[in-house]
A and B are shown apart, each in its own frame.
Chain A
């Protein structure tokens, strides 16, 4: 496909495919940020959306799902989308070496983004690893809308902590945690949550990071009575809703478990409805003191992102 092209049903909302130029590459500790120039994709993106990026590492076949870490349709006249890549396997390594001036074949935006509060709300954003990046983007969207934003960013040590100066500027408060205590508070993000919730009276928690962290935050949110929106990571063969490899066990309103495609029904889901035990994270639920039954969905009306409440 030709460089710079946009294809798909460009006359409608929804995902398109772009072959976009990489205009900037930055290294922050183990993370690589790629900035691609694409007005069309930026204009369609919201925090929580992801893209599927073609990689050319030898032997690989599938695209790689990456969260949109920032989108600005007006940036320097072209419009940009940022991606943050953490260390993982061959696809991530290939992406981390993509040079400025080369092109990436990207499909997006995909998935359902973070639901925004429908009334003024105090929002707690909790990010782990590269998961902090899309939350900075979320903060940038929430604050101008008049919502309070408190940010907790966690990592194993200072070298893997991802927190930008901009995030610090936009959020009303920022707390960092590291497991080894090399920066910020020693411990995990869940150790910092109760205090922030008590101090600022958070109405909703948005979380992005490894699934085990999301499970822990969801259990804690249930215990604290705060609704939690999590952005999940399940292996995706297509990211388009057609292969059913990305299914997540989610309880419906009757409590029955349904396997929902995280690429099309997610990746953002109600943390209280995800069956973390069926995802093999029962040990995390237990360690958090989660009951035999995982937390109940919060009462109707308590969730500021619930459209039905304001409607």
Chain B
């Protein structure tokens, strides 16, 4: 390897100033570029400082935070599946108080556009966390992780039921002083109904989708691969489902901003989500394989748009042809 190969950061994408406008708006929230990180796939952000400048990421969605610290589930917590993986982490996190003290100041100092994902067992749990975020500088938005079992309703996951989702989003929106995104699940039998209920209850935008519930069994030992038996499927394996959900929800609620999420690896994947109707795209599992993904996708998107004659990323949002459209 020659000294000429030593190029520092972002060697792969020429630092083109293509003149393409990458700015997007999620309601009142403006992002410099549409590439975000997915909750639970970027930890607190600090870990990734070794690879990328977190200040230049469209939005950093942090790991879901709960009222009290959580240790999470036993291992194995992960198993690889064809073009994807199953995980059951159990929301391991330091709790909202420790996060506010230890992690938020670092994100602020590094110029991150921080979106706080909140989780809980009960509506009151979520409200407690959101109340703690009131009046705190450096928080761009709140994302409500509705893929949590509601212990007050026999453990039924909020996101599966329009009414439970509406109740939770309403309670959060009432106390939040920044935009609220509701993160939904494709496991719901009618995700469009859940989306409509969440928006009616006060969600400013939607993140689509969380992982899809799955299971893998070791054929020889007969044991479930995950200690928790079931886990969330992520990665390219779920991308077509995520694109479908974004398209359906955008068609039904064209004015509601959407963050698309599920299996993003390449610039072409980002473009699919934008065309389906997402205004921004979150990268989760893809960042495990390529820790530089937020930067390479951002620069690659600018290059793609320029090469295809677009001057603004907003030109392709929702620009999809289906059926007999010309």
Taking CB atoms, residues of chain A closer than 8 Å to B132 are none
Shortest CB distance B8–A (Å)? 5
Which chain A residues in 157-174 approach chain B with CB under 8 Å? none
Shortest CB distance A153–B (Å)? 27
Q: Which of A6, A235, A278 is close to B76, meaning CB atoms less than 8 Å apart?
A: A235
Please give me the residue from chain A that is nearest to B88 by CB atom.
A245
* Interface window among A56-64, A202-210, A282-290: A56-64
Contact between chains at A107 and B47 (CB < 8 Å): no
> A199 near B: Cβ within 8 Å?
no
Count, chain A residues at interface, CB 8 A: 51
Q: Which of A10, A54, A247 gathers most chain B CB within 10 Å?
A: A247
Shortest CB distance B264–A (Å)? 12
Taking CB atoms, residues of chain A closer than 8 Å to B47 are 240-242, 264
> A8 near B: Cβ within 8 Å?
yes
Docked CA distance A244–B45 (Å): 13
Please give me the residue from chain B that is nearest to A37 by CB atom.
B1
> B7 near A: Cβ within 8 Å?
yes
Contact of A10 with B41 at beta-carbon distance under 8 Å, contacts A60-B80, A235-B75, A238-B288 already known:
no
> A192 near B: Cβ within 8 Å?
no
Contact between chains at B292 and A247 (CB < 8 Å): no
Contact between chains at B6 and A244 (CB < 8 Å): no
Contact between chains at A61 and B236 (CB < 8 Å): yes
Shortest CB distance A224–B (Å)? 28
Taking CB atoms, residues of chain B closer than 8 Å to A239 are 288
Q: Which of B50, B92, B235 is close to A15, meaning CB atoms less than 8 Å apart?
A: B50
* 19 extra interface residue pairs, beta carbon distance < 8 Å, beyond A8-B9, A63-B288, A242-B41: A2-B11, A4-B2, A7-B9, A8-B292, A11-B8, A15-B50, A61-B235, A78-B1, A235-B75, A235-B76, A235-B79, A237-B87, A242-B43, A242-B47, A243-B40, A243-B87, A245-B87, A245-B89, A259-B71
* B binding-site residues for A, Cβ under 8 Å: 1-2, 5-12, 40-43, 47-48, 50-51, 63, 71-72, 74-80, 82-85, 87, 89, 92, 235-236, 285, 287-289, 291-292
Q: List 16 A-B contacts (CB under 8 A).
A: A7-B292, A8-B51, A9-B51, A21-B1, A54-B289, A61-B83, A61-B285, A63-B289, A107-B291, A235-B78, A243-B89, A244-B40, A244-B43, A245-B77, A246-B75, A248-B75
The 4 closest A-B pairs by CB, nearest first: A245-B78, A238-B288, A241-B47, A242-B43
* A binding-site residues for B, Cβ under 8 Å: 1-2, 4-12, 14-15, 17-18, 20-21, 37-40, 54, 59-63, 78, 107, 234-249, 257-259, 264, 278-279
